[in-house]
Amino acid sequence: MKGIEVRQVTKSFDKQMILNGIGLTIEPNKIYGLLGRNGAGKSTLLNLLVNRIPVDLGEIRIDNETIKDNDEQLAKMFLMSEVNLYPKNAKVKDIYKWTEKFYGGFDFELATNLSKQFGLRTNTVFNKLSTGYRTIMKLIVSLSVPVEYVFLDEPVLGLDASHRDLFYNALVESYAENPRTFVISTHLIEEIANLVEHVLVIDNGRLIIDDATEKVLSNAYMISGPEDKVDEYTEGLNVIGSDKLARIKASYVFGTLNNKPIPDLINIDKMDLQTLFVNLTSGGSNNE
Amino acid sequence: MQFNFNSSEPIYLQVAQQIEDAIFTGGFKEGEQIPSTTEISKEFHINPATVLKGMNQLVSRKLLEKHRGVGMFVSNGANERITLNRQQNFYNKYVIGVVKEASRLNIDEADLKKLIKQGYQSL
Amino acid sequence: MNKTVQVIKYDLSYFLRLILIVYAWMLGLFVLLPTTIHLIGSGTKGVLNTVSISFSIASTGAVLVNAALLFYFGFLTYERFSFLIQNGISRRTGWAAKVVSLSIISLIATVYDFIISMFSLLDGDGYNAIPYLSLYGHFFRSQIPNMVMMVIVTFIFMLTVAIIGMVVGSFFSLLTRRHQKGALITAPIIVILLFTVLSRAIRSKLISFTAIENFSKFLIGYSKTMGNFNPFVPSMIMVVLIIISLIISRGLNTKLKIKRGE
């Protein structure tokens, strides 16, 4: 099988379980959105995928091979993360150079172009870059390495609106020219909502959604109207949250609606990804 | 072309809708090439596969045609097909809603007709 | 294989840069500084003498500096591991490449050591000026095998230092930052404590001093029957040490992981 298989992976830190029996498949040439609240286990999952940390239980395989001590398989992936794993005293251009040597290729043309567009001076020492520019450098590297799977953990951290825009442009262009898998983990869901084909949601160490974005959203409804009518209609449905203002209520339903007639005073709208995410991961509490 | 993705419809349908609108209002002329999937996805940060799905929907409705290795072009007769389609949907999409709302507001048929006439005059 | 070669290149470029920096400092401290002081104090008279003395001090000192550097290169672990795993290089490749890189640097240090010793001999300093030859210089009857043995033993010694550095470094990098600080503080205390206990034990005759003496003699290859020191004994001990250290460092290497929040 082509792709990355995560089988029943469990990981704890200091006796606290971060991931609890995660199983999923990451297919070639797709853009994934990996969503979860702070501490849900997103970064841990990504770190496990590239073998930065070992799994406690379970297994991760890529194209049917283990990733442990396997240069050939590890070289198919790149993780751009919040932590900085680059030598502090290395210049940006030297980091590009060594990345090329280690990965056996690097799109210097793209890297140079993007460095110019973002205003990143490649003669600067990595440690002297601001948080935003460190992110920018790591993003440029992640788009320039010849890998099949690019994992972006908080890719726009510390970037202003115009730099974020530049990055999304570069990402889409790079993806269109050379389709490969991107797994994007971000809190700015709206900015990537139309980019991701497939959504993965982690909550409290468990994978609660693993489906095509379109399919997920086609099952996410917002039912609003007078409180009693809304409650009557949503009885027996999978209500994941609700908002209330005076006697007007909006209930969020995730799942198929039944064939009950829709009362006149009730509106049924689709939920966007952000709203769905917030309601799914707030622990089902009502924001009343 | 202007996109506004606040609607709750699936993105690919919105893409199709927006391109159709652009053809209908003359933004894209018949026989003209429209922007590539990459250009559209780059401009609006939409997955290229989604854009392509929207375009393919228009291809199957014969509003666009694929020219291998070149790109997508507005078909001849696309405008006519759009007009015909919109005429067929006009009753369901607009008339029923207007009549429903009018009756809620106690506007009777004669008054509604008057308003419609007034609307035509102000055009 | 190609990845291993690239990592070796990376290591060597990193090591060589550090060596150049350290040597520049040594040149400044042990040669330029005394020469400048001489020039200011007594002018150009006899300056060549000062320069030559300074050079010989610096070059002899460099042998120790080389060993210290090798230990340090072996010790460096975490930042290197981070950079390699960021670039899809496995722990095993990183480990293997490091063993090769350290061997290459050990070889360079050995050659340097040999050249310094030769200069020293040409200066007429005799065997006693060279630590190895003063002990093992008469093991073989002729000079050439003694010289060859000196090169071999020096190389094994340098490699031992480097590989032990690797074990200590890998162990150290597995600790959390707080434990690292703790280890840095407690390690010297433990060493002092150990010596105190040892000297007490000797004084109170729990351990006889001759036992320690005999053990030390065994380590450096002294044998009564032959009446001199046998370089093969320490060589074999060091080779065994290298093998054990390699096994331990590889074991620790597989445990390397990116720490949280660093």
Has residue A227 got a pLDDT over 60? yes
Interface test with C, best of A67, A71, A92 (most C CBs within 10 A): A71
- Looking at per-residue pLDDT, the higher value among A149 and B45 belongs to A149
CB within 8 Å: C257 and A54: yes
The mean per-residue pLDDT over the stretch C116-138 comes to: 81
- Looking at per-residue pLDDT, the higher value among C220 and C5 belongs to C5
For residue A251, how many C-alpha atoms fall within 13 Å in the half-sphere facing its CB?
23
Q: Quick one: pLDDT at residue A288?
A: 38
Which residues in chain C (218-257) have CB-CB distances under 8 A to chain A? 254, 257
CATH topology (fold) of B11-76? Arc Repressor Mutant, subunit A (1.10.10)
> How many Å is the Cα radius of gyration of chain B?
18
Query: Does residue A13 belong to the interface with chain C, where contact is any CB pair within 8 Å?
Result: yes
CB within 8 Å: B8 and A168: no
Using one digit for the tens of pLDDT, what is the confidence trace for B24-43?
998 899 999 999 998 899 88
**Tokens encoding C213:** 């003496």
Q: Could you give the CA distance from residue C162 to residue C74 in angstroms, rounded to a whole number? A: 5
Whether C and A touch (3+ CB pairs < 8 Å), yes or no: yes
CB within 8 Å: A68 and C90: yes
Indicate the number of domains in chain C.
Answer: 1
C137 domain-assigned = yes
Q: Phi-psi bin for A246: left (phi > 0), alpha (psi -120 to 50), beta?
A: left
CATH topology (fold) of A4-211? Rossmann fold (3.40.50)
Render C89-153 in DSSP notation, one character per residue. --HHHHHHHHHHHHHHHHHHHHHHHHHHHHHHHHTT--GGGSHHHHHHTTSSSSHHHHHHHHHHH
Q: Could you give the CA distance from residue B48 to residue A32 in angstroms, rounded to a whole number? A: 13
Residue A61, helix vs strand vs coil: strand
CB within 8 Å: C6 and A54: no
Q: Quick one: pLDDT at residue A284?
A: 44
Q: Quick one: pLDDT at residue A287?
A: 41
Grade residue C45 by pLDDT with cuts at 50, 70 and 90.
confident
Contact of C87 with C79, CB cutoff 8 Å:
no
Most confident of A20-24, B101-105, C198-202: A20-24
The mean per-residue pLDDT over the stretch A32-58 comes to: 94
By mean pLDDT, which of A17-31, C127-141, C165-179, C236-250 is the weakest?
A: C127-141
Render A194-263 in DSSP notation, one character per residue. TT-SEEEEEETTEEEEEEEHHHHHHTEEEEEEEHHHHHHHHTTS-EEEEEEETTEEEEEEES---SPPPP
Grade residue B1 by pLDDT with cuts at 50, 70 and 90.
low
Question: Nearest C-alpha of chain A: how many angstroms from C67?
Answer: 24
CB within 8 Å: C6 and A101: yes
Q: Phi-psi bin for C205: left (phi > 0), alpha (psi -120 to 50), beta?
A: left
The mean per-residue pLDDT over the stretch B71-85 comes to: 93
Neighbours of B32 (CB within 10 A): 11
Q: Quick one: pLDDT at residue A285?
A: 44
How large a percentage of chain C has pLDDT more than 90?
A: 53
Q: Quick one: pLDDT at residue C15?
A: 94
Q: Quick one: pLDDT at residue C167?
A: 97
Has residue B102 got a pLDDT over 60? yes
Residue of A nearest to C257 (CA): A53
Using one digit for the tens of pLDDT, what is the confidence trace for C9-34?
999 999 999 999 998 998 888 888 88
Q: What is the ipTM of this complex?
A: 0.90
Query: Does residue B35 belong to the interface with chain A, where contact is any CB pair within 8 Å?
Result: no
**Tokens encoding C112:** 């340097």
C114 domain-assigned = yes
Interface test with A, best of B4, B39, B45, B50 (most A CBs within 10 A): B45
The mean per-residue pLDDT over the stretch B80-102 comes to: 91
Question: Nearest C-alpha of chain C: how many angstroms from A43?
Answer: 10
Q: Could you give the CA distance from residue A76 to residue A67 in angstroms, rounded to a whole number? A: 10
Query: Does residue B57 belong to the interface with chain A, where contact is any CB pair within 8 Å?
Result: no
Give me chain C's average pLDDT, please: 89
Using one digit for the tens of pLDDT, what is the confidence trace for A153-196?
999 989 999 999 999 999 999 999 999 999 999 999 989 999 99
Question: Nearest C-alpha of chain B: how many angstroms from A269?
Answer: 7
Give me chain A's average pLDDT, please: 92
- Looking at per-residue pLDDT, the higher value among A46 and A287 belongs to A46
Q: Quick one: pLDDT at residue B4?
A: 58
CA distances from C144 to C140, C148, C150 (A): 9, 6, 10
Mention every residue, 6+ apart, whose C-beta is less than 8 A from residue C127: C133, C134, C137
Residue of A nearest to B39 (CA): A173
Whether B and C touch (3+ CB pairs < 8 Å), yes or no: no
Q: Quick one: pLDDT at residue C124?
A: 73
Has residue B78 got a pLDDT over 80? yes
Query: Does residue A216 belong to the interface with chain B, where contact is any CB pair within 8 Å?
Result: no
A86 contacts in C (CB within 8 Å)?
82-83, 86
A177 contacts in B (CB within 8 Å)?
38
Query: Does residue C86 belong to the interface with chain A, where contact is any CB pair within 8 Å?
Result: yes
CB within 8 Å: B46 and A176: no
Q: Quick one: pLDDT at residue C158?
A: 96
Query: Does residue A188 belong to the interface with chain B, where contact is any CB pair within 8 Å?
Result: no
Q: Could you give the CA distance from residue A33 to residue A152 in angstroms, rounded to a whole number? A: 10
Q: Quick one: pLDDT at residue A20?
A: 94
Query: Does residue A190 belong to the interface with chain B, where contact is any CB pair within 8 Å?
Result: no
